[in-house]
């Protein structure tokens, strides 16, 4: 959703300007000193107007520019100087009152939530008597519970009126509704002392949060709500989240022991506890670290240590790492990994800002990491509905930004104005010396279609951070695309790519090569021709439509159409046995007509995995395989046609975990870049 910003009076050198339409992700560039950081400060302080919040809070107040402005929790401003906040501090166990059960002298159990329910029952007794005079309640409740009065209030007037109508009773419906309204209002004046008074306040808060009437708030819901932590998504204290989970674990152990003492079952067994409280938050953080590509894992806290410390261990050598020994770039990625991990919403309330302001946070990021960083904040913004404005001097960040989302602030006009990505990149690289490109250091690769060129370009961009490509690779389609409306993919064939390469090489043009599909043996390698997946895969579609990668798209997208055999954490663990389950699941949904297609063959991946897949995934025609997969795995149908499913696999699976890249792709690209071809 677009929004606008405007400045009614000068602020730190930024002149007044009329409304500027901003995109959900807006990237602002400009040389040092034009006021980019001041613009973000003005938005955070409320001095510059933003349509997400209405009028600028302080635009018409004659306050000194240096005076501190009260922080607005709907705006979060992060800079490169504060990448690791208190979210990683050492924290003692959080003292959360357990409103469900608390031991007191003599071993009795005092149940605060139930006591509140009793207090409410006494408060509403008069209104219940009036309701009984209007309608025979007990006759209309077929199976009254021990707390049937609370059930009556919770079910609301409509349920009673419907029950009376079904019983053939004529009642005063208006009076029934009036009685419920008066009872609801009565809860506003409930007078409870100490913890009970806090619980009364929580009833009102929970009603506002859920939209349920106050009369419908049950003791169980109240108990759960009172145990929630409240944190800012971008400044959350992760140690506190860990400590809260551990405390609930100990409360459950105490309840079990209490039940043994009282001779009645209390507490939850391990499976029930996991279902109610979710997985340990340190496991969820590890999932987020893997997605962000960080080679660290959280050290699992000691469940019996009174202090909880967030600490990391390097996976490569198993050594503990101090947080502030991480590089500045790793700290940036760590912060956003911790901001994107999936908290247990049942026990943690996150305050979500409307506007996230990022001031040159990418300054320390290597270009290879910028893509992961931008992807994480865009994904979070889309899922949480957050608008983002970021400032940058990085050409990589600008290049990865959506077209139309780039703005520039200049010395002549220090206000944000929309520019093209190319304009911004040219400005950011202005003054660099011209370079003479040695053509031998870059190879031009002709491929069969524009789709192939797009896929290979993307794959090289992802792999070059881990594969030592000695020469740059550029991919060009050897054939023109068909005019719109003629159907099909591209006009031409693999023979055209081979012919173009041979003719140009004969004319003395250096560094030209071809990369073709195997086509089940119809294409063979030559002096300047490399074959993808020779001896195994029909075409590039077959390499990328590997059932493991298809399954990863489904699991990462959390498509609800199926009951998957593994979860995201299982996928990220990369256990061969576990991943084979995912392959078998996908294979069970894709029917192959020929018996030979159902035979299991080897499939190898860049990270060293070797798994077994049905042969049909590798040997049937690539376009037919794509149609077959999309037609039988319904969540994938939205990517059907024009190679969009393969685009998704490259960006959403391989781009996030290079270990899953099929080995034939790595082999072919390495050969093209590093081999010495002799004519």
Say how many Å lie between the first and final Cα of the chain, rounded: 56
Residues 339 and 463 in one domain: no
Residues 525 and 493 in one domain: yes
What does the pLDDT read at residue 485?
A: 36
80 in a domain, yes or no? no
The model carries a pTM of 0.48
Residues 393 and 508 in one domain: no
In angstroms, the CA 203 to CA 206 distance is 5
Percentage above 70 pLDDT, the chain = 74
Residues 498 and 639 in one domain: yes
**What's the average model confidence in pLDDT over 346-373?**
77
In angstroms, the CA 554 to CA 560 distance is 9
Residue with more model confidence, 608 or 148: 608
Sort strands 109-110 and 102-103 into parallel, antiparallel or unpaired.
antiparallel
What does the pLDDT read at residue 620?
A: 93
Three-state SS string over 112-172 comes to HHHHHHHHHHHHCHHHHHHHHHHCCHHHHCCCCCCCHHHHHHHHHHHHHHHHHHHCCCCCC
H helix or E strand, kind and range, residue 604:
strand 600-604
* Residue 239 Cα distances to 92, 235, 298, 314, angstroms: 9, 12, 11, 19
The model's pLDDT over 473-519, given as tens digits with 9 standing for 90+, comes to 888 887 655 333 333 344 456 888 888 888 777 766 677 899 999 99
Which two three-digit tokens encode residue 564? 């998957």
In angstroms, the CA 328 to CA 81 distance is 9
35 in a domain, yes or no? yes
What does the pLDDT read at residue 207?
A: 65
Which two three-digit tokens encode residue 515? 């990369």
Residue 404 φ/ψ region, left for φ over 0, alpha for ψ in the -120 to 50 degree band, beta for the rest: left
Q: Kindly tell me the burial class for residue 558, based on how many C-beta atoms sit within 10 Å of its own C-beta (0-12, 13-18, 19 or more).
A: exposed
- Residue closest to 459 by CA, chosen among 574, 559, 544, 555: 544
* Highest mean pLDDT, choosing among 150-164, 181-195, 344-358: 150-164
Residues 339 and 469 in one domain: no
93 in a domain, yes or no? no
Q: Of the ranges 18-27, 113-122, 310-319, which one carries the lowest mean pLDDT score?
A: 113-122
Residues 123 and 20 in one domain: no
The answer to whether 229 and 347 have CB atoms below 8 angstroms apart is: yes
In angstroms, the CA 203 to CA 216 distance is 10
Residues 502 and 641 in one domain: yes
- Residue where a domain terminates, one of 308, 326, 348: 348
What does the pLDDT read at residue 43?
A: 93
87 in a domain, yes or no? no
Residues 410 and 478 in one domain: no
Give SS3 for 338. helix
What is the band of 180 on the pLDDT scale with cuts at 50, 70, 90?
Answer: confident
**What's the average model confidence in pLDDT over 314-340?**
81
What does the pLDDT read at residue 63?
A: 41
The model's pLDDT over 44-68, given as tens digits with 9 standing for 90+, comes to 888 899 998 865 444 444 444 444 4
62 in a domain, yes or no? yes
Give SS3 for 175. helix
Residues 531 and 608 in one domain: yes
Percentage above 90 pLDDT, the chain = 26
- Residue where a domain terminates, one of 303, 328, 348: 348
What does the pLDDT read at residue 119?
A: 67
CATH number at residue 409: 3.40.50.300
pLDDT over threshold 70, residue 185: yes
84 in a domain, yes or no? no
What does the pLDDT read at residue 14?
A: 94
pLDDT over threshold 50, residue 101: no
* Residue 46 Cα distances to 18, 54, 56, 172, 360, angstroms: 16, 10, 5, 53, 20
Q: Is the dihedral of CA 283, 289, 290, 292 positive or negative?
A: positive
The answer to whether 485 and 504 have CB atoms below 8 angstroms apart is: no
The model's pLDDT over 205-262, given as tens digits with 9 standing for 90+, comes to 656 555 567 676 666 555 555 555 455 555 556 777 787 788 888 888 888 887 887 7
81 in a domain, yes or no? no
92 in a domain, yes or no? no
What does the pLDDT read at residue 626?
A: 92
Give SS3 for 619. helix
* Residue 574 Cα distances to 298, 504, 533, angstroms: 17, 45, 23
- Residue where a domain terminates, one of 287, 322, 348: 348
| Size of the chain, expressed as the number of residues it contains | 679
Give the range of the structural domain holding residue 275, as residue numbers without chain letter: 237-348
Sort strands 442-447 and 472-477 into parallel, antiparallel or unpaired.
parallel
Question: Residues of 93-114 as b/e, b for ≥16 C-beta within 10 angstroms?
Answer: bbebebbbbbeeeeeebeebbb
Our count of domains for the chain comes to: 4
Q: At what angle do helices 194-210 and 219-226 cross, to 10 degrees?
A: 100
Q: At what angle do helices 547-557 and 576-589 cross, to 10 degrees?
A: 90
652 Cβ contact partners less than 8 Å away, ≥ 6 residues apart = 552, 553, 556, 557
Sort strands 25-29 and 406-408 into parallel, antiparallel or unpaired.
parallel
The model's pLDDT over 581-637, given as tens digits with 9 standing for 90+, comes to 999 999 999 988 788 889 999 999 999 999 999 999 999 999 899 999 999 998 888
What does the pLDDT read at residue 614?
A: 96
What does the pLDDT read at residue 600?
A: 94
Residues 481 and 381 in one domain: no
What does the pLDDT read at residue 113?
A: 53
Three-state SS string over 39-73 comes to HHHHHHHCCCEECCCECCCCCCCCCCCCCCCCCCC
What does the pLDDT read at residue 396?
A: 81
For 312-463, where are the alpha helices, taking DSSP H only?
Answer: 328-340, 367-384, 395-400, 421-428, 450-463
Residues 207 and 122 in one domain: yes
Residues 324 and 357 in one domain: no
pLDDT over threshold 90, residue 395: no
């Amino acid at each position: 959703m677009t929004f606008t910003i405007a400045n009614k009076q000068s602020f730190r050198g930024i002149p007044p300007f009329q409304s500027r339409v901003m995109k959900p992700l807006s990237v602002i560039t400009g040389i040092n000193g034009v006021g980019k950081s001041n613009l973000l400060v003005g938005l955070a302080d409320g001095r510059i107007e933003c349509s997400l919040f209405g009028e600028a809070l302080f635009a018409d107040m004659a306050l000194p520019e240096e005076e501190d402005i009260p922080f607005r929790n709907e705006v979060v401003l992060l800079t490169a100087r504060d990448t690791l906040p208190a979210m990683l501090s050492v924290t003692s166990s959080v003292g959360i009152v357990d409103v469900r059960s608390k031991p007191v002298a003599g071993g009795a159990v005092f149940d605060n939530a139930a006591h509140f329910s009793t207090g409410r029952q006494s408060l509403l007794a008069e209104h219940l008597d009036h309701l009984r005079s209007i309608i025979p309640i007990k006759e209309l409740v077929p199976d009254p519970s021990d707390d049937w009065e609370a059930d009556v209030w919770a079910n609301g007037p409509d349920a009673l009126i419907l029950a009376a109508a079904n019983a053939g009773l004529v009642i005063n419906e208006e009076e029934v509704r009036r009685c419920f309204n008066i009872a609801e209002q009565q809860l506003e004046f409930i007078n409870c002392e100490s913890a009970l008074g806090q619980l009364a306040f929580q009833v009102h808060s929970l009603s506002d949060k859920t939209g349920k009437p106050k009369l419908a708030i049950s003791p169980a819901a109240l108990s759960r709500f009172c145990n929630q932590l409240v944190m800012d998504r971008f400044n959350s204290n992760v140690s506190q989240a860990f400590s809260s989970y551990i405390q609930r674990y100990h409360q459950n152990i105490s309840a079990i022991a209490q039940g043994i003492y009282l001779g009645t079952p209390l507490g939850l067994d391990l499976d029930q506890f996991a279902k109610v409280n979710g997985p340990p938050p340190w496991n969820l953080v590890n999932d987020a670290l893997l997605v962000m590509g960080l080679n660290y894992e959280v050290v699992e806290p000691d469940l019996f240590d009174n202090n909880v410390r967030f600490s990391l261990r390097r996976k490569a050598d198993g050594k503990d790492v101090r947080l502030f020994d991480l590089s500045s770039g790793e700290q940036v990625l760590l912060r956003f990994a911790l901001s994107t991990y999936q908290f247990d919403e049942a026990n943690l309330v996150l305050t979500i800002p409307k506007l996230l302001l990022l001031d040159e946070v990418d300054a320390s990021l290597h270009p290879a990491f910028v893509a992961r960083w931008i992807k994480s904040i865009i994904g979070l913004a889309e899922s949480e509905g957050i608008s983002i404005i970021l400032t940058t001097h990085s050409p990589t960040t600008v290049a990865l930004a959506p077209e139309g989302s780039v703005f520039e602030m200049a010395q002549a006009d220090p206000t944000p104005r929309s520019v093209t990505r190319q304009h911004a990149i040219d400005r950011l690289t202005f003054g660099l010396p011209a370079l003479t490109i040695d053509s031998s250091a870059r190879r031009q690769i002709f491929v069969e279609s524009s789709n192939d060129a797009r896929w290979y370009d993307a794959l090289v961009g992802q792999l070059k951070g881990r594969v030592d490509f000695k020469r740059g690779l550029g991919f060009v389609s050897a054939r023109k695309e068909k005019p719109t409306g003629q159907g099909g993919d591209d006009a031409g064939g693999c023979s055209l790519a081979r012919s173009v390469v041979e003719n140009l090489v004969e004319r003395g043009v250096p560094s030209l090569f071809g990369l073709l599909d195997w086509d089940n043996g119809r294409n063979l390698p030559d002096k300047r021709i490399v074959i993808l997946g020779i001896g195994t895969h029909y075409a590039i579609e077959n390499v990328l439509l590997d059932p493991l990668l298809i399954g990863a798209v489904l699991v990462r997208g959390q498509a609800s159409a199926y009951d998957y055999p593994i979860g995201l954490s299982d996928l990220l663990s990369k256990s061969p046995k576990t991943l084979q389950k995912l392959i078998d699941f996908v294979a069970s949904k894709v029917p192959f007509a020929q018996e030979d297609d159902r035979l299991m063959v080897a499939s190898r991946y860049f990270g060293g995995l070797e798994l077994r897949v049905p042969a049909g995934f590798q040997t049937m025609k690539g376009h037919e395989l794509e149609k077959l997969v999309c037609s039988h795995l319904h969540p994938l149908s939205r990517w059907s046609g024009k190679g969009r499913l393969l685009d998704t696999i490259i960006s959403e699976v391989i781009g996030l975990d290079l270990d899953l890249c099929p080995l034939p792709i790595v082999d072919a690209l390495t050969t093209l870049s590093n081999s010495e071809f002799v004519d």
